[in-house]
Structure 1
């Protein structure tokens, strides 16, 4: 391991090599967001009323969580992988990370100005990097503890704060306030930082070791089962769904006796589950039983367990396939090497489609397939002909230039007396 002139460890060259499996997983996250953004009405290959809806439901919430999880993995890889960097190398990486966050945040704001009917994640994504930066010196065990601790206390703390201090409202776009970024937005930090910290913990492990992958797969399976089964038990065995149905009936003025009617009770249950599936960020605060749901974008213990568990499983499968089927995985790894370009590109295409067809009629069949095919063809061709994606190259150029300015400033600074 090389050391700098102050004796602090610098990252090894081979540690900066890309891991194709991570790129493949990142591609699935981005393409999953495609499916969510265009909705089932834009599916052509899959029947929107049949197989299309389960695919959309699986991608919703899980794809953005996987994206944040892999952001954590990337941050760990940039800061030393299994052995976190320190001293001057860490300060240089921190400068580059902050630069990347600023550029990504500005890009997110620019995309949001286009008023595309999509919840743009990039502004939140930039903020996640800044929140995670103080913890990059931690090793895997400490990061697991941080992620688990936030997952445990985050949902009730969010519930209490939003119940007493923050006026509930539907997010209107990119981050417009600190409370929206932390608590009430589409991708609230109190939930998504769990995914980022979990990804950082994974990035601190030896992902090439079979034992590590087995442990990650087992952990992922356990968390996934706990998330889905735990929510089902809380709602259907312990009566959470009935309590929410009663609260739903009371909120619209139904007498409590209405809930005793089997047909009305079933109708109220269906309404509750429809509301649970339509949540975008955090659960309502009219009943603590909302914390028992596990649907996407609810920020509950069960939803976070499902999302982290499935992210671990996706990562392990992608790592395995990328090593054994490199040619077949090449399209995915190409998309995953330029996620910022592909994500931004699909929003620009959607903006054009909305402008041509109108805000009510733009969900045309085969739009999803066209976006996916276009992204894959572009990514493969660009990778073969040019290399690094255009926005990724611009981001790296900004970070490198600011990093060089920082180093030059340190070299020319007079020594402290």
Structure 2
């Protein structure tokens, strides 16, 4: 077991306070801090710190001896750590996006390679050949858009706004309230000519304002407020219209959301732990100044209406709770240790421990490692019989491992 130092990612939508506070650094930070990566992704691997203070990237450590570091997972995942663990802090909305299936990722990656699109090109859709199922667990209240809403409910929303310019679009969806109708309306909106969009979007936003200021039932208040917030962050963006088609979700601390391939989504705000297959493939659909490849996005999107369930943790019988998902690449457990509680056993590696509250002591064969809030530890497959306990008060930590325990 070794200390693992996360890789800090700064994006414009990040927070100047959330990650700094979590890690015990001065607030506000110099730049918006969006993500802290604990993994072995080539784009920004975490670093393992030895007892001598020398650091080595986790990517290099695993590649140097995959059998020792990954054990039985090495042949199953081509000698690579199959998951990426993050802390995500969103102060502003992320882009509308979806992730490809494994087959779509392989096909797209090979096609762009044949076309000799540089890996660092802003026009590149596929930076690797892997899919990216992902799970986010809220540390604080977490807001998101995810999955296409039942079309009949969306028709009700569009008509409730009482915007004459929306009438034709509401009728279009009402005439075909299924995945095909959603595909048609979504495609129509994100490809609107600038002149049409510049007239329609302000009318819709005015309708949202009237809806929120009126009297009577306001069952779509969250959706209307979200449209106004998105338009303020991304003025003139067709993604504001597309967001009206999606489920609006709120996760309370400890609740999770799993997103499979093809689910269009956008995280709006909040702090959470995120785990995913070890990929950085993103197809964007709006709410961004970055590249939007509409034909490729339509190829990967799943337009089937879905009511995404909130994932609640289940007791795992070892002092932890687990978040069950179908992903074979990862499993995520959470430990909540009371002050003065005894030692609890951890799963054998490969795995990553991530402390989100308090201080955790890891013990193995007389050796110990302290993991503080915002810090991590790498557990190799060669490590076994590791136990954990809280230090000087309660503590919370997550343990990520390969999905064989699901």
Q: Greater helix percent: which structure?
A: 1
Same fold (TM over 0.5): no
The one of the two structures with greater contact order (alpha-carbon pairs below 8 A, sep at least 6) is 1
Which category of TM-score, normalised to the shorter sequence, fits these structures? under 0.3
* TM-score in terms of structure 1 length: 0.25
Q: Greater strand percent: which structure?
A: 2
